[in-house]
Amino acid sequence: MTDRRSERSWEKALRTAAMLSTGGALSGCDVLKLTVVNHAGPIAAAQWHLYVVVGIVLVFVAGPVLLLTPIMAWRYRLSNEHSTYKPKWDFSWWIEGLIWIPPTGIVIGLAFLLWTYTHRLDPYRPIASTQPTVEVQAVGLDWKWLFIYPDHHVAVINQLAIPVGRPIHLSLTSGTVMQSLMVPRLGGQIYAMAGMRTELNLAASQPGVFRGENTQYNGPGFPQQKFDVVALPAPDYDRWLARVRAAAHPLDTAAYAALFQRSVPAHPIYYSRTPDGFFGYIMSRFRSSPTENER
Amino acid sequence: MSADEVKHPGINLGDTRDLSHRDAEHDLFGFWIFLMSDAIIFALLFATYGVMLVGTAGGPTPADTYKILPAFIETLVLLTSSFTFGMASIAMKHDAGKVRLMRWLAVTLVLGLIFLAMELKDFATMIGDGAYPARSGYLSSFFALVPLHGLHVAAGCLWVVVMMVQVAFFGLDERVKVNLLRLGLFWHFLDIVWIAIFSVVYLQGLIR
Amino acid sequence: MSASVWPAVLGRFEWHALPFVRAWENPTLNELIGAGAAAIVVVGAIALIALITLLGKWRYLWREWLTSLDHKRIGIMYVVLAFVMLSRALVEAMLMRLQQATAINAPGVVDPEHFAQLFSTHGSIMIFFMAMPFLTGAFNYVMPLQIGARDVAFPLLNSISLWLTGGAAGLMMISLVVGTFSTGGWSGYPPYTELAFSPGVGPDYWIWAVTLGSIASTLSGLNFAVTIYKKRCPGMTLMRMPLFVWTTLCTSILMIFAMPPLTVATALLALDRYLGFHFFTNDLGGNMMNYANLFWLFGHPEVYVLILPAFGVYSEVVSTFSSKELYGYTSLVLATMAIAVLSFTVWVHHFFAMGQSANINAVFGIATMTIGVPTGVKIYDWIWTMFRGQVRFTVPMLYSLAFMMTFVLGGFTGIILAFPPLDYLVHNTLFLVAHFHNMLIPGLLYGMLAGYHYWFPKAFGFRLDEKWGRVSFGCWVIGFYLAFMPLYVLGAAGMARRTQEVFEPSFRPWLYVAGVGALILFGALASLFVQLWVSIRDREANRVTAGDPWDGRGLEWSTSAPPPDYNFALLPQVRGRDPFYDGKRDGDPYAPPPEYHPIELPRNSMTGPVLGIVGTALAFGLVWHMWWLAILGTVMIVATIIARSFARDVHRTIPVHEIERTEAHWLAAVAAARAIPRQLEMTPLNQGLAAVTR
C-alpha cells in the first residue's frame, strides 16, 4: 500500500492548486475539502491519482475540438473573403485517418488503464496490509445506518468508528429499499440491497471525521441520512469500543423493532450488545431463496 | 420500383392496382417488424424466467408444478392449428373459394380454443395445488410468461373470428387478404414462441 | 345511490386527493404551491376550451388537426406538445433549484414529499413527454419530405402514436390535479416503488404514463423504419439519404428494440403492485437487480434515441450554413450505425456499484468508452464540413457550434464516469446529474431548437425572428453553464442527487449560482415564446413562400412553404446526395412537369383521438382502482380497433385541377420572388428563393 500513499510531487502541487483555484476568500472553495482531492485513505488516494491521469489524457481529447471549432467557424465565415471556398470538397483519407485512428488509440490506451484500475480498486478486493482487518457490517435502514462490529458484539447507529491504518472490510445489506453507501474522502460506493450482501473495502490513513452518506433516494428522510466516519488512532479506537460496550443498551427485542421504523435519529446510538449472527439474520428476513449477490 | 418487383409471393391480389401491391408489401414488412418487437418482449420474459427460477422461496419448484402430458398435448394442438392455418393461406392464395377458406379458419379457431381451454385448466390445477403467482418470484415469472402467450392466442382467436366475419361481409378484397396474411404471420409466431416455452419452461422443468 | 356504491365507482379516490382541498385545510407554502400548479392546469384547460369555443374553431381543429393523418400536421402537434411539457418541466426544475438554494440548514419552500414528486415528474416529462415528442415531431415533419414520400408508411398508426403520447402526457397533467405523482424518480427503482414502500397512486401514475408513452414510441419507431425502407422516391438509395434520415432510421431501430424492455419493466412492476406478484419485491424470491437490468437495457439505448436525432439536425445545419457538402458522409453513416449498435452493450455502467465482478464492470466500462470514438468522429466531421466553407452564424448554426463545444465537456466527464473506480466516487451525486444534463441539453435540446429554427420557415412559410432567437440562444448557453457547472463541483463533494435539504454551508455559493442559471434558462424559454409571438406578428415581412430560405440541399426545400398536403405533385427523381442543391445548379428545379396525375392520400380518421382518450381513461381507471372504467376502457379499445378494420373508404383523391391550381400558385410566388445571395438571407428580402452561385 505504500506506493499509493506516497504522492508524487507534481500531484501534490496539482492538489494544492485545485484547492486554491477558486480563491481562498470565497467560502465556496471549502467544498473541495470534502472531495477526493482531499483524500484521507489509500483507496481515495489511488482514485484521485487515476482522476489526474484520466483528466490529463482527456485534455488532449477535448482540446482539439475546443480549439478547432471556433477557429474553423471564424476563419471560414461568409464575410471573410480571403478564405478558400471549395463547396464540393468532402473527403480526405488523411483526415479520415486522423479522426479515426488516434481516438481509437487513446481509447485502447485508456482501456488498459481502466482494466487495471477496475481490478486494483475493486470494492471487493481486500486491502493488502500487515495489520489485521477490521470487520464491520453495515445495514441500510430508513433513514439511518446500522454498523455492527461482529468481533466485538456491539453496534452503532450513524457512526462508523475505525482505527487509522487498518483495513476495513464492510459487508452491506439493507433492511429496507436499496441504498448506497459512500464516504467521498475514503473512496468507493456500493449498493446495499435487502436479502443480499455486498462488500466494500476501505481504510483511513489519517485521523479525522469524514462524512458518509446514502446516495440512493429512499424516502422523505433521505437528505438526513448522513453519518460520520470517525478515524481514530488505535488506543482511541479501543477506548471508543469500550465506551460503546459500556453504554448498557443492548440490542434487544424492543430496540430491534425500533430499528425498522422510519426515523432519523438525532444522535448516534450505541448498542452495547448484539446477538450472534445478527447481520445474517437481517438478511434472511427477506431471503427465502439463494439469490445472494455473492461471488 | 415497378409493381412486379414488390408483389408479395404469399398473397394473391390479382390484377388490382399497383398501389395495392405496394401497400401490401409495406403492411407485411411492418408486421414483421412488429413481431420482432413482440419477440423481444418474450425474450426478456424468458430471461426474467431464467433469473427467477431460483426464487422459489421455499414454495413449489418446477418439477413439482408442471404436468408434462397436458403441455405436450397442447403443443400438438397448437402445431396442428398452425398447419390448418397454413391450409387456409393456401386456399386464399390459390383462390380455392370462400367456403374452403372459411372451413380451415374455423378448424384453426376451434384448435386455438381447445388450446386455451386446456391451458386455463392447467393454470387452475396449478393454482389449486398452491402454485399461484403471488407465492414466489419463480411462479411470478412463470405466470408473466406463459399466460402472456395465452393472451396472444386469445387475441389471435378473436382476430380469426373478425376475419371470418370480414370474409363473409366483404368477400376476399385486398384488405381482407392482407389482414389474413398478417394474421397468418401472427399465428405462426405464436407457435414458435410456444415451442420455446415448451422446451425452456416445461421440458427443462422436468429436470429441475 | 347508497354509500357502499361509491367505492366501486370512485375506487380509492377521496377528497384529499385534490390539492385544493389539502391547501384549504392546511394552507402552508408547500400545499399552496401544489394547489397553484393544479389551478394553472385547470384554469389553463378551461381557458383553452373557452378560447376555442369563442373563436368557433372546434370544427376546424377537429377536421384539420386532431383527426388529421398528414405527417406534417402530426409532426407539428408533437412539437406543440413538447413545448407545453417543456414549460412545465422547466418550471419544476426552477422550483427544485430554488428549494436547494433556500434549504441550506433550513426547510426551504417545498416539503420532502413534494420535492420528490418534482424530481420524478421533471425527469419523466423531460425524457418521455418533452424529448420524445420533440424528436418524433421532427422526424414526422421532415423525414418523409427528405426521402421524397407523400406520407409515412402507416399514417393511421402515426396518429395513434401521437394520441397515445398525448394521452400519456395528459395523464401526467392529471396527476398534478388529482392525487400525487411517484416519488421514485424517473427510473422508478423498486423496491422503493413497490406497494410495501409506496402504497399511494404515485407510482401507478408513473407506470401507466410511461407504458402508454413507450408503446407509442415503439409504434412510431416501426412506422419510421418501414417508411425509410420502403417509401423512398426513385433514385434515393440508402447512401444518398440525408444524414437526418439516417439518424431517423437508427433511432427508429433503437426504438423498436429498446422500448420493449421498458414496457416489460413497467408491466412487471405493475403486476407486483396490482396482483401481488414478486418480481422486484424484497421478499419471496423477488430480485430488484433484474429491474435495473431491464430498465437500463431500455435506458441506455434511449440516450441515443435522444441524441442521434440532434446529430442528424446538426449534419443538415452545418452543411447548409457552410454552403458546403457534408464532410465524410460515409464516415458519419458508419459512426451513426456504430453508435446505435454499441448503445446496447453498455447498460451495466448505470449500476457499477451493484456488486458485480470487476471483470464485468471493466468490460462495460471499456464498451462505454468505445462509443466515444464514433461520437468524436462525428464532431470532427462537422468541423471539417466548415473547413473551406462559407459559414453563416444564424441561430441554428450557433446552436450547432455551442453544441460541439459543450458536448465535448460532457464527453470528458462521461469518460470519467465510464471508469468504474471513478464512478464509485460520483455515482448518484450531482456530478452525474450535471453529466447527463451536459449531454442532453446540447445533445438533444440545442439540436431540436436548431431544427425548430431551421425548418420552421418550411412548415409555416415565414422565418422566425432572428434577434429574439439570439437572445434565447444566449440564455440557453449561459444558463446551462451557470446551472450545471456548479453541480459537477457539488457532486464531487458528495452532494447526493435528489437532495431536498442541505446540511453543508460550503455548498451555498454553488447552489446560488446554479439557481441563477436556472432562472436564466427560464428566461431562455420565455424568449422562445416572445420570439414566436413577434414572428407571428411580423410574419408578412418574413414570408418565404417560394420555400427555400437557406439555399437548402435536400428535397424538403424543393416544395413551397408550407408544402401542399401531397408534398410533391410528382414524386422526385434523385440522382445524387444533395438533390435540390445540385438541381438548382444543374437546371431549373422549378420547371413544372408536363402533366399532373391525381394523388391518393389517407382520409382523416377519428381512430387516433378515440384510442388516445380511451387509453388515458383506462390508465386513469387503473391508477385509481376504478375497475369499471378500466374494463370499459379495455373493451372500447378492442371495439375501436375491430370497428376500424371494417372501414374501407379510407382514401381520398386529390383531383388534377386542384393540384394544378396549388402548383401554379406556388410557381407564381417563385416567379415573383427575388433570388437573394446568402448575405441577405436574414433580411426581409429573403422570400425563399436562393441566388445560385456555381
Asked if C530 reaches chain A (Cβ–Cβ under 8 Å), the answer is no
Q: Does C255 touch chain A (CB under 8 A)?
A: no
Instruction: Please give, one letter per residue, the 3-state secondary structure of C332-366.
Output: HHHHHHHHHHHHHHCHHHHHHHHCCCHHHHHHHHH
Asked whether residue C556 carries a pLDDT value surpassing 60, the answer given is: yes
Residues 6+ apart with CB under 8 A from C246: C312, C332, C333, C336
Compute the distance between CA of residue C433 and CA of residue C496 in angstroms, rounded to an integer: 10
pLDDT in tens, B69-93: 999 999 999 999 999 999 999 998 8
**Which chain B residues have a beta carbon less than 8 Å from that of A289?**
54-58, 136-137
Local confidence band at A23 (pLDDT 50, 70, 90 cut-offs): very low
**pLDDT tier, C275 (very low <50, low <70, confident <90, very high otherwise):** very high
Q: Which of the 8 DSSP states describes residue C462?
A: B
Which C residues 108-147 touch A at CB under 8 Å? 111-113, 116
Q: Is pLDDT at C619 greater than 50 in this prediction?
A: yes
Q: Check residue A11 and give its pLDDT.
A: 62
Judged against a pLDDT cut of 70, whether residue C353 lies above it is answered with: yes
pLDDT 10s digits, C621-632: 999 999 999 999
The count of C-alpha atoms lying within 13 angstroms of the C-alpha of C148, restricted to the half-sphere facing its C-beta, is 24
pLDDT digits (tens, 9 = 90+) for C144-179: 999 999 999 999 999 999 999 999 999 999 999 999
Lowest mean pLDDT of A12-21, C364-373, C425-434, C588-597, name the range.
Answer: A12-21
C567 closest CA partner among C151, C233, C153: C151
Domains of chain B: 3-205 (1.20.120.80)
Reported as a single tens digit per residue, the pLDDT across C637-685 is 999 999 999 999 999 999 999 999 999 999 999 999 999 999 999 999 9
Residue-level pLDDT at A17: 58
Closest CA to A192 of A137, A112, A150, A272: A137
Q: How far is B166 from chain C (nearest CA, A)?
A: 7
Mutate to test the interface with A, among C348, C387, C417, C508 (most CBs of A within 10 A): C387
* A133 close to A126: Cβ distance less than 8 angstroms: yes
Comparing CA positions, the residue from A186, A226, A241 lying closest to residue A208 is A186
Confidence of residue A13 (pLDDT cuts 50, 70, 90): low
Q: What is the spatial distance between Cα C567 and Cα C588, in angstroms, rounded to a whole number?
A: 19
The pLDDT value given to residue A288:
52
Residue C121 has pLDDT above 80, yes or no: yes
Query: Quick one: average pLDDT of A126-139?
Result: 95
Q: Which candidate in A36, A91, A118, A218 is best for mutational testing of the C interface (most C CBs within 10 A)?
A: A118
Q: Which of C248, C83, C95, C91 is nearest to C169 (CA)?
A: C83
Tell whether the torsion through CA atoms of A35, A38, A41 and A45 is positive or negative: positive
Report the mean per-residue pLDDT for chain B: 91
* pLDDT tens track for B102-153: 999 999 999 999 999 999 999 999 999 999 999 999 999 999 999 999 999 9
Burial of residue C474, with CB atoms counted within 10 A of its CB: 0-12 exposed, 13-18 middle, 19 or more buried: middle
pLDDT digits (tens, 9 = 90+) for C446-498: 999 999 999 999 999 999 999 999 999 999 999 999 999 999 999 999 999 99
The CA distances from residue B158 to A282, B35, B143, in Å, are 50, 18, 22
A12 touches chain C (CB under 8 A): no
Q: Is the pLDDT of residue C2 over 60?
A: no
| Residue of chain B nearest A284, judged by CA positions | B57
Q: How confident is the model at residue C63, as a pLDDT? A: 95
Helices (H), B53-136: 62-65, 68-93, 98-128
Name the band, by pLDDT with cuts 50, 70 and 90, for residue B208: low
**Subunits with at least 3 CB pairs below 8 A relative to chain B?**
A, C
* pLDDT of A180 over the 70 cut: yes
The conformation of residue A76, written as its DSSP 8-state character, comes to T
Structure confidence at residue B96 as a pLDDT band (50, 70, 90): confident
SS3 content of chain C, % helix, strand, coil (to 5): 70, 0, 25
So what's the pLDDT on residue A24?
44
Percent of the residues in chain B that have a pLDDT greater than 70, as a whole number: 90
Rounded distance, CA A47 to CA A188, Å? Answer: 9
How far apart (Å, rounded) are the C-alpha atoms in residues C660 and A147? 82
pLDDT tens digits, one per residue of A72-123: 999 999 999 899 999 999 999 999 999 999 999 999 999 999 999 999 999 9
Q: What is the pLDDT of residues A239-261, one digit of tens each?
A: 999 999 999 899 988 888 899 99
User: Which residues in chain A are contacts of C490 at CB distance < 8 A?
Assistant: 31
Query: Rounded to an integer, what is the distance from CA A8 to the centroid of its chain?
Result: 22
**Which range among A18-32, C62-76, C171-185, C464-478 shows the weakest confidence by mean pLDDT?**
A18-32
Name which of C314, C160, C342, C163 is nearest C258 in CA terms: C342
The angle, 0 to 180 degrees and rounded to 10, between the axes of the packed helices C29-55 and C155-177 is 140
Cross-chain residue pair A103–C510, CB shorter than 8 Å: no
- Categorize the per-residue pLDDT at B29 as very low, low, confident or very high, splitting at 50, 70 and 90: very high
Q: Is A77 helix (H, G, I), strand (E, B) or coil?
A: strand
Query: Residues C631, C634, C636, C639: is their CA dihedral positive or negative?
Result: negative
Close Cβ partners of C76 (under 8 Å, ≥ 6 residues apart): C137, C141, C459
Contacts of C96 (CB under 8 A, 6+ apart): C115, C118, C119, C122
- Render C191-250 in DSSP notation, one character per residue: TTTSTTT--SSHHHHHHHHHHHHHHHHHHHHHHHHHHHHH-PPTT--GGGS-HHHHHHHH
Taking only the tens place, the pLDDT of each residue in C283-335 is 899 999 999 999 999 999 999 999 999 999 999 999 999 999 999 999 999 99
What is the end-to-end Cα distance of chain C in Å, rounded? 81
Q: What is the mean pLDDT of chain C?
A: 95
pLDDT at A290 over 60: no
- Which residue shows C-alpha cell 379458419? B105
Residue C4 burial by CB count (10 A; 0-12/13-18/19+): exposed, middle or buried? exposed
* pLDDT at C528 exceeding the cut of 60: yes
Give backbone dihedrals phi and psi of A7, rounded to 5 degrees, phi first. -85, 145
- Quote the DSSP letter at residue C647: -
> What separation, in Å, do the N-terminal and C-terminal C-alpha atoms of chain B show?
55
Interface of A with B in 272-291 (CB under 8 A): 288-291
Report CB contact under 8 Å: B134, C277.
yes
**Ordered structural domains, chain C, with CATH:** 1-55 (no CATH), 68-94+111-309 (1.20.210.10)
**Lowest mean pLDDT across A4-13, A165-174, C567-576, C611-620:** A4-13
Task: Please tell me if residue A95 touches chain C, with a CB cutoff of 8 Å.
Answer: yes
Q: What's the pLDDT score for residue A20?
A: 53
- Are C256 and B158 within 8 A, CB to CB? no
Q: How far is B198 from chain C (nearest CA, A)?
A: 21
Of A68, A114, A195, the CB nearest to C383: A68
pLDDT of residue A256: 86
pLDDT of residue B25: 86
Q: Which whole number is the average pLDDT over C539-566?
A: 95
Res. B95 pLDDT band, cuts 50 70 90 = confident
Query: In the predicted model, what is the mean pLDDT of residues C335-344?
Result: 96
How far does B21 lie from chain A, in Å, by closest CA?
40
What value does the mean pLDDT take over residues A15-39?
68
CA distance to partner chain A, nearest, from residue C420 (Å): 6
| CB-based contact B56 A290, cutoff 8 Å | no
CA dist list (Å): B192 to A268, B82, B185, C532, C625:
60, 10, 11, 54, 36
Distance separating alpha carbons of residues C503 and C492, to the nearest angstrom: 16
Q: With 80 as the cut, is the pLDDT of residue C535 above it?
A: yes
Interface residues of B toward A, Cβ cutoff 8 Å, are: 54-58, 136-137
pLDDT computed for residue B14 by the predictor: 64
The answer on pLDDT for B5 being more than 60 is no
Mutate to test the interface with C, among A53, A86, A209, A217 (most CBs of C within 10 A): A217
Angle at the Cα of A71 from the Cα atoms of A66 and A72, rounded to 5 degrees: 105
CB contact under 8 A, B57 and A288: yes
Q: Average pLDDT of chain A?
A: 89
pLDDT at residue B19 above 70?
A: no
Q: State the ipTM, two decimals.
A: 0.95
**pLDDT tens digits for range C401-455:** 999 999 999 999 999 999 999 999 999 999 999 999 999 999 999 999 999 999 9
Residues in chain A: 295
Distance CA B137, CA B128 (A): 18
Q: In this predicted structure, what is the pLDDT of residue B16?
A: 61
Contact B57 C264 (CB under 8 A): no
C225, three cell numbers: 423504419
**Predicted confidence band of residue A124 (pLDDT cuts 50, 70, 90):** very high
What's the rounded mean pLDDT across residues C342-369?
96
